[in-house]
Chain A
Amino acid sequence: MADTTNMGAPAPHRISLTERSPAVARRKRKDLILQGFGLLAIFIAFAVMFLLFASLIRTGHTAFVQTHVTLDVYVDPAEIPLDGLPRGGFQDVVTNALIAKLPSADEDSERRAVRNIISNGAQFYLRDRVVADPSLIGQTISIKVPVSDAYDQLHKGSISRDTPEALRRVNDEGIAWFDELIADGAISKPLNFSLITNADSRFPELAGLRGALVGSFWALLTCFVIAFPTGIGAAIYLEEFAPKNKVSDLIEVNINNLAAVPSVVFGLLALAVFLNYLGMPRSAPFVGGLTLALMTMPTIIIATRAALKAVPPSIREAALGVGASKQQVVFQHVLPLAMPGILTGTIIGLAQALGETAPLLLIGMNAFITSAASTPFEAATALPTQIFIWADSPERGFVSRTSAAILVLLTFLIFMNGIAIYLRSKFERRW
């Protein structure tokens, strides 16, 4: 409209956002550049995440199957006498069965080389069957035993047949034998349940996570039993009952700082106080759980206080109005309403505790233990420390087992966080 009244006179140039001018274009370009940077940052984060999971799945998926060989074993009474159980020449018997399958192998001179095809633990598969049913002695039975790590990797393709023989962990002769077994149909690749049912082992093909899962279970149980009631008690006190004074302030600052203390410092505390002064057992999941409880407690306190704060004052006032005492108000009205939020925070805290490694290393939960703990006071490993142990092991088979163990750990974490998200969305009320 201004143009029509000022007809004739040159209009003073004003910049408007709707008009195309070099300055506006430049400013809009800046807008786009900033957006571009933002998108780039998100893309980088996504890419790294994708790379992380892809590399874990790529190396880890092979550990979910295990190469086995099926053998017809003649349980020779001369090698395995009935009255000698559970001792006996199980290894020789299994090796005999394997050599019988390989006509090209010389029985005497190449016995050792042939034996290397099957796992060192194969004899125990036979032993367990024979001990369970001694009448098998003298019969020929068909058993499926894992092959050793080198041949497992060969079959899964991690060891290339094109590599020069000198650089390969299996020689040409071994490959020839193994191919004979494949041609014979004796080799199979079933799902690897021993990853869950076996405890740790020096041999990758036998190593499993049972000890670690049990250890983590005991540690988390201890952590929950200690941290949950203590955390809720502390939160209720601070939120509902504490007088507003210096002491309460101090406690509050203290809890916030405790939540940010590096986890390794909690490990030092556990080592010096629990193990050294109090003489608690090394490597015990109970001590691990105790340490994790100290770390989880601030998380639970902070979550519980937030949940209690979210309950509107009208609920409290109504309950007080009909004559409830202050504690009756809290325990019978406020706490039940805050429970979903508290549980969500607790589960997230426990998920963090499940992945925590450093304090457990310091109290010795990285020991090599080949059986699962039956009580929380026995030595055990935990899932993250087991991952750490396997990541340190040089064998190729342990690389894939480490990735597989990480995938198991991440599955648990996603499951726990899933429960937390479900609880939050299902039960949380907006007032």
Chain B
Amino acid sequence: MILLAFIILFVAAAIGYVINIRAAQAIRDGGAPLHSLVGFHGMFSALVVLVPVFILILLWIALADPLIQRLVAASLPEGTFDGLGTGAIQLIMAEINSLAGGRVFGTPEDWKIEAAERLVGYERTADIALVVVVIIAVIALIAFARRTVIAEFRARQGSEGIMLRLMAFCAIFAIFVTIAIVFALVYETSKFFSMVPITEFLFGLNWEPQIPIRADQIAAEGAFGAVPVFLGTLVIASVALIVAIPIGLMTAIYLNEFASRRVRSVVKPFLEILAGVPTVVYGFFAILVVAPWLRSTGASLGIDVASNTALAAGSVMGIMLIPFISSFADDALSAVPQSLRDGALALGATRSETMLNVLVPAAIPGIVGGILLAVSRAIGETMIVVMAAGLIARMTINPLDSVTAVTVQIVTLLIGDTAFDNPKTLSAFALGMMLFIITLGINVLALRIVRKYREIYD
């Protein structure tokens, strides 16, 4: 039905376009000079039809279904939801929905079947109403657009004004996304902090996100101290950076100063391939090759290495970051003015002296900015740690141990069915909030450093 509405809309826009072009042509053929070209009159009509109705359909999609659900829930017999948690309510609504979809399990109660029938009825009404509303709207808009076609009408200004606003909206859309992220995180996080004190989350040393299944369960109180989780992320990210920074920097230095054009033309695309490998592939590589290898090496040396050691996740993440760091460092080194390089070489410095004593110090802000961005990626990286790191939060900085990470906890807490009313689910949003703030801070800092540095030589 939604598809039908869109088809009607696009056909109507085309019709409006043609009608207005014909009308404008008729005026021009009649000898009156048009203010705008014929095409702009058509364009104006198409835009006048498309934009409002398109927004209408989108709003309908977003609002109709929740409204219907609410109506159905309100029409249930009195007291159905008394004393039930949101999980149980969602279960009942899900059952009614699946009944409405024709999937019957067992013998449902009569009131559920009735509700399902009502739901189907509402949905059908809503679908028909959508199509009717769309048809009425497009006819009205086509008629309106047709009436604007007169010789003096400034159709170009009209249609260009609409286009400009559309494009401005697209640009502002990016801000909406950020606002939506912040809003969603803040809202769920504040719900979480109303259940768990913020001081426990920030300073607690124990992370066991559980909720009691029964009220009288022993040891059911979950612990939500995020310190060990962040410590785990720190350990893994440190391992990653210890791998990535030297290799990435050395690669950049070699490519920038010593490599011939041919070597560059081979190594650069190769690094791009390495950068384009999805992280889920790196994660599988970590559990398939790196972790067993570390474990057997550790065993042959007599060291006890946990099977999902931070070393495996961290080193593979380091490999992922190599192209990232090397391309940033390469850009920074290339941006150093040629005169500095020439000056150093003219004074008799060798190429390594030029590089280490002149170019690298001059490029340091760009390199640091790149490394900071790499840090933020390491902290936010998800799939490698989800697959290769552990689940249990430990207060340890030993990379041979199994540690967990912020993103691992977010994913494991939210995989599967989730109800938004218990601290276990909501704690994931609190972690996400922290993650967002930290990465945002690092990014802003890094971009500022990079930008400032560019200004020096421009």
Residues in chain A within 8 A of chain B (CB atoms): 17, 27-28, 30-31, 33-35, 37-42, 44-46, 48-49, 51-52, 55-56, 59, 229-234, 236-238, 241-242, 250-251, 253-258, 260-269, 271-273, 276-279, 294, 297-298, 301, 325-327, 351-352, 354-358, 361-362, 364, 366, 384, 387-388, 391, 399, 402-403, 406, 409-410, 413-414, 417
What residues of chain B have their CB less than 8 Å away from a CB belonging to chain A?
A: 62, 65-66, 69, 156, 160, 163-164, 166-175, 177-178, 180-181, 184-185, 187-188, 246-251, 253-255, 258-259, 267, 270-274, 276-285, 287-289, 319, 322-323, 348, 350-353, 355-356, 373, 376-377, 379-383, 386-387, 407, 410-411, 414-416, 418, 420, 428-429, 432, 435-436, 439-440, 443-444, 447
- Chain A residues with Cβ below 8 Å from B185 are 265, 268-269, 272
A223–B276 alpha-carbon span in the complex (Å): 19
27 sampled A-B residue pairs with Cβ under 8 A: A30-B353, A40-B250, A45-B270, A49-B273, A56-B285, A59-B288, A231-B170, A233-B169, A233-B170, A234-B173, A237-B168, A238-B171, A257-B447, A262-B380, A262-B436, A265-B181, A265-B439, A266-B181, A267-B410, A272-B187, A273-B180, A294-B177, A354-B278, A357-B280, A361-B415, A362-B410, A391-B284
Complex-state Cα separation, A263 to B376, whole angstroms? 12
Is the CB–CB distance between B171 and A251 below 8 Å?
yes
For A414, the chain B residues whose CB sits under 8 A away are: 273
Q: What is the bound-complex CA distance between A333 and B69, given in angstroms?
A: 50
B175, A251: Cβ atoms closer than 8 Å: yes
- A297 contacts across to B, CB distance below 8 A: 173-174, 177
Report yes or no: A234 in contact with B246, Cβ–Cβ below 8 A.
no
Smallest CB separation, B426 vs chain A (Å): 10
A230 cross-chain contacts in B, Cβ below 8 A? 170, 173
In-complex Cβ contact of B274 among A45, A232, A257, A327 (8 A): A45
**Chain B, interface SS category:** helix
Q: Is the CB of A38 within 8 A of B258?
A: yes
Complex CA gap A409/B279 in Å reads 12
Q: Which residue of B lies closest to A262 (CB)?
A: B380
**Separation in Å of the B384 CB from the closest CB of chain A?**
10
- Given A276-B420, A279-B69, also A49-B173 (CB < 8 A): no
- What separation, in Å, do the CA atoms of A266 and B185 have in the docked complex? 10
A264 near B410 with CB under 8 A, answer: yes
What DSSP secondary structure best describes chain A's contact surface? Answer: helix
Q: Which residues of B contact A387 (CB under 8 A)?
A: 280-281, 284
List the B residue with the shortest CB-CB distance to A295: B177
Given A30-B353, A41-B246, A355 and B279 touching (CB < 8 A)? yes
Residues of chain B within 8 A of A402, CB atoms compared: 284
A273, B253: Cβ atoms closer than 8 Å: no
Contact A28 B350 (CB under 8 A): yes
Give me 19 other A-B pairs in contact (C-beta within 8 A), A232-B170, A241-B167 excluded: A41-B249, A41-B254, A45-B274, A55-B289, A230-B170, A233-B169, A255-B174, A262-B379, A263-B382, A264-B432, A265-B432, A355-B276, A358-B382, A358-B383, A362-B414, A387-B280, A387-B281, A388-B280, A388-B387
Q: How many Å lie between the Cα of A34 and that of B256 in the bound state? A: 12
Nearest chain A CB to B419's CB is how many angstroms away? 10
Given contacts A34-B253, A327-B160, contact A41 B247 (CB under 8 A): yes
Residues of B within 8 A of A351 (CB): 276
Compute how far the CA of A410 lies from the CA of B279 in the bound complex, rounded to whole angstroms.
12
In the bound assembly, the distance between CA atoms of A38 and B283 in angstroms comes to: 27
Query: Given A27-B350, A325-B160, A361-B415, do A273 and B184 touch, yes or no (CB 8 Å)?
Result: yes
Select which of B180, B287, B355 is within 8 A of A34 by beta carbon: B355
Tell me whether A358 and B407 are in contact (CB under 8 A): yes
| Chain A residue with the shortest CB-CB distance to B293 | A51
Contacts of A358 in B (CB 8 A): 382-383, 386, 407, 411
Asked if A269 and B278 sit within 8 Å, CB to CB, the answer is no
Minimum-distance CB pairs A-B, first 3: A38-B254, A262-B380, A355-B278
Q: Give bound CA distance, A327 to B168, whole Å.
A: 13
Task: Please measure, in the bound complex, the distance between the C-alpha atom of A277 and the C-alpha atom of B444, giving whole angstroms.
Answer: 30
CB-CB nearest in chain A for B251: A41
A413 touches which of B254, B258, B276, B418 (Cβ 8 Å): B276
Question: Would you call B319 and A48 a contact (CB within 8 A)?
Answer: yes
Residue of A nearest to B263 (CB): A42
Residue in B167, B184, B382, B414 whose Cβ sees the most chain A Cβ within 10 Å: B167
CB pair A260–B376 under 8 Å, yes or no, is yes
User: Which residue in chain B gives the minimum CB-CB distance to A363?
Assistant: B414
Knowing A269-B184, A409-B281, the reply to whether A254 touches B414 (Cβ < 8 A) is no
Contacts of B380 in A (CB 8 A): 261-265
Q: Which residues of A contact B418 (CB under 8 A)?
A: 271
Decide: B171 and A242 in contact? CB cutoff 8 A.
Answer: yes
Contact of A279 among B66, B416, B432 (CB under 8 A): B66
Q: How far is the CB of A271 from chain B (nearest CB, A)?
A: 6
- Could you tell me the distance between the alpha carbons of A333 and B264 in the complex, rounded to whole angstroms? 35
Q: How far is the CA of A254 from the CA of B179 in the complex (A)?
A: 10
- Check B166–A233 contact: CB distance below 8 A: yes
* Most chain A CB neighbours (cut-off 10 Å) among B174, B285, B439: B174
What is the CB-to-nearest-CB distance from B1 to chain A, in angstroms, rounded to a whole number? Answer: 12
Residues of chain A lying within 8 A (CB to CB) of residue B355: 34
- Write the chain B residue with the least CB distance to A270: B184
Q: When the two chains form their complex, are residues A279 and B288 in contact, meaning their CB atoms are under 8 A apart?
A: no
Residue numbers in B under 8 Å from A38 (CB-CB): 250-251, 253-255, 258-259
Which residues of A lie under 8 Å from residue B273 when comparing CB positions? 49, 414
Out of B166, B174, B428, name the residue touching A268 (CB < 8 Å): B428
